[in-house]
Amino acid sequence: MADEAARRAVAELPLLRAAAGPRDREGWAGRLKEEYRALIQYVENNKRADNDWFRLESNAEGTRWFGKCWYVHELLKYEFAIEFDIPVTYPGTAPEIAIPELDGKTAKMYR
């Protein structure tokens, strides 16, 4: 179960109504606009709460995403490259997020 803070954060985001994926060219453009709106709102909410922790951008088709994420621990900032591809069966299949710099460093690191 998600905690109350996560529920509030999700409740502040616009709903994604289009069920299209990259295979559906016409529907995908609408879904991608919804995804961008939700992502922009999430970033704005994080900045207001002083919880900014990532930057993302995508290719022109919106199928490959890349950027940076970071974590501050004991006044040290750890920054990592992040990347993922949107599967052709999206939104039925979740993307696998990868942090290439951490691959193989620990058994607990998952894609």
pTM for this one?
A: 0.84
User: Would residue 109 count as lying in a domain?
Assistant: no
Q: Which of 76, 63, 61, 71 is nearest to 99 (CA)?
A: 71
User: Would residue 69 count as lying in a domain?
Assistant: yes
What is the residue range of 78's domain? 1-102
pLDDT given for residue 2 in this prediction = 67
pLDDT given for residue 104 in this prediction = 78
Q: Which residues contact 99 (CB under 8 A, 6 or more apart)?
A: 69, 80, 81, 82, 109
User: Would residue 39 count as lying in a domain?
Assistant: yes
Cα 78 from Cα 109, distance rounded (Å): 16
Q: For 79, phi and psi rounded to 5 degrees? A: -120, 140
pLDDT in tens, the chain (111 residues): 568 988 998 999 999 999 999 999 889 999 999 999 999 999 999 999 999 999 999 999 999 999 999 999 999 999 999 999 999 999 999 999 998 888 877 777 655
DSSP code of residue 98: B
Q: How many domains does the chain have?
A: 1
User: Would residue 60 count as lying in a domain?
Assistant: yes
User: Would residue 110 count as lying in a domain?
Assistant: no
pLDDT given for residue 25 in this prediction = 86
User: Would residue 111 count as lying in a domain?
Assistant: no
pLDDT given for residue 109 in this prediction = 62
Write the CATH number for 19: 3.10.110.10
User: Would residue 65 count as lying in a domain?
Assistant: yes
User: Would residue 97 count as lying in a domain?
Assistant: yes
Question: Positive or negative CA dihedral for 106, 53, 69, 71?
Answer: negative
